[in-house]
Structure 1
């Protein structure tokens, strides 16, 4: 995954603009997206997609140790919907399905943690 610095460096090399100017433009673009999300609730990025604010539902959380229930209030969340050009690009990505039986998914060592230790203590 590219970092912000790597993205700015690539854009600077492709456009012939100084990396410092590209970084400043990137920051302005980022600030503009945040401002639009805050004021309008959504922002459309041409060729990429749309960021939209939605309100999550209220839910109940249960503490696995004590069983105590806690109400988690609804809160705003950001959702992204990809634009058609981005969907077309992702449709051409070649990938390989890895089944659960594959060795890559098997843990390399026994997991250790609070719940595993509690089970061992009870035995």
Structure 2
């Protein structure tokens, strides 16, 4: 499901128009991204889940084509942990 399909469902289930639904989705993504940029940023939507950033350590990997060892630098990556309500809905 893509952003437009989600917006259509929002229009169907509420009294907002599609352009406003798209703005809400874009704003949510922007706000979550801005919070996660901060060192200890975390966004929790109770029942839905938590967006956070985890730090991956540097490691040595292998080039699958040549088999040569390569250094993979440390990096910060976003992670989503589903909440209880969302987990229950999916079961």
TM-score by length of 2: 0.84
Shift of residue 63, structure 1, vs aligned partner: 2.8
Distance 1:83 1:70, change over 3 A: same
Match of residue 27 from structure 2: 28
Match of residue 51 from structure 1: 51
- Structure 1: distance between partners of 2:64 and 2:26: 42
Match of residue 84 from structure 1: 84
- Structure 2: distance between partners of 1:38 and 1:54: 11
Q: Which structure 2 segments of 5+ residues have no match?
A: none
Match of residue 7 from structure 2: 8
Distance 1:56 1:12, change over 3 A: same
Distance 1:8 1:66, change over 3 A: closer
Distance 1:72 1:14, change over 3 A: same
| Post-superposition CA distance 1:43-66 (Å, at most 9, x none) | 112321101111112111223454
Q: Comparing both structures, which one devotes a greater share of its residues to strand?
A: 2
TM-score by length of 1: 0.65
Report how many residues are paired.
90
- Structure 1: distance between partners of 2:30 and 2:23: 11
> What RMSD over aligned residues (CA atoms) do the two structures have, in Å?
1.7
Distance 1:15 1:64, change over 3 A: closer
- The structure with higher relative contact order (CA 8 Å, sep 6+) is 2
Distance 1:56 1:21, change over 3 A: same
